[in-house]
Amino acid sequence: MAAPMLLSSEDVLRVNGSRRFAAAMAAASPFASLADALLAARRIWLNEVDVNGWLEAFAAHPAIGTTSPSVSKWSKEEQSAALSTATDSTAQELAEWNARYREKFGFVFMICASGRTAPEVLAELKRRYTNRPIVELEAAAQEELKITELRLAKLFSSEPTVPSTTTEGPATQSDKAAAWITLLSHQLNFQKDRIRIIGAHLGALPQSCANKAPEITGSSNRSRPPITTHVLDTARGSPASGIEVHLEMWKDSSAPPSFSNKDFSGWATLGYSVTNNDGRSGQLMDIVDNIAPGFYRISFNTRKYSPAGFFPYVSIIFEIKENQTAEHFHVPLLHSPFSFTTYRGS
């Protein structure tokens, strides 16, 4: 059995450029196995690192196709397939699209490039360029997590561990294989159960800001409720804090809500909260594996946040169908004094 791995912040910064992530991983070490480190990395990246930490991590990466001597050994290895398959015209087009992307989103195009050719990377860059900024932030964070997982595996395979008080032999090939199988398993699970970052990317919710309805508990394999939200102030370009949020479900089985049936008495409150400094609400309903199908309404008290605005409140009604009960529904509000929009996120 291998001795536990003790990581310093400097070790982790080789893996992920976020200082907050590095400090939290170092504090959580030593790790008995790669699997333990991967679990901790995912938890910290999604729940403890805020947008500023994400952007700091993105900034530590060179643009895809960069051949500067300052590029790290790991970055060169990760981009080797793309660099080796890039023609002069592809490299030029990639540089142009990298610049367009940075101009639109404000950060470098993030992609786990290991094993991907230049045409594949370019096609993905063009596809994601059409995303809304907040959707692209989710995609970039997903890619950063993949890179972090791969680099942690490299770190575990190359770095010495904490000296053990017992005599241990060198790691066997089966030990190394098991570590890589664990990593691949995590990556497959990552793809099957997308990390729903749009709701989580603005940081973990402080308890003092929760202000949520009582008796909301629940028990399931999910890490968060099936319905989540956050609010962005698009006029200021920042999260909107202090907005009261209510979540309700339609309970009148005799008739569904519709354009011609606006009877408010059919709605029953599931929970309420107030958005924190990162624009994220607290828990609005039980954490359950399968949400009840039906109609839901999420309402935002925008009058208090924007007294001179056009909308005293905003209500969004949506339907969850029977074949969607295991899915996650992130319903954000992008608000300004005279307009708002929403979308169904993951």
Residues belonging to the active site = 61
Q: Is 129 annotated as a binding residue?
A: no
What length is written for the chain? Answer: 346
| R_g of the chain computed on alpha carbons | 23
The SS3 call for residue 249 is strand
The residue type of 95 is A
Give dist(CA 143, CA 166) in Å, integer. 39
- Look up residue 247 and give its two tokens: 């979540």
- 343 labeled binding residue: yes
What residues form DSSP beta bridges with 335? Answer: 233, 340
C-alpha angle 130/75/57, rounded to 5°? 60
Q: What is the DSSP letter of 253?
A: T
Please check whether residue 23 is in contact with residue 178, taking contact to mean a CB–CB distance below 8 angstroms: no
DSSP 101-119: HHHHHSSPPP---TT--HH
Is 101 annotated among the ligand-binding residues? no
CA distance 25 to 42: 10
Distance between CA 202 and CA 332 in Å, rounded?
Answer: 12
Can you count the helices (H) and strands (E) in the chain? 12, 10
> Which residues sit in the known binding site for substrate?
230, 280, 343
> Which residues sit in the known binding site?
230, 280, 343
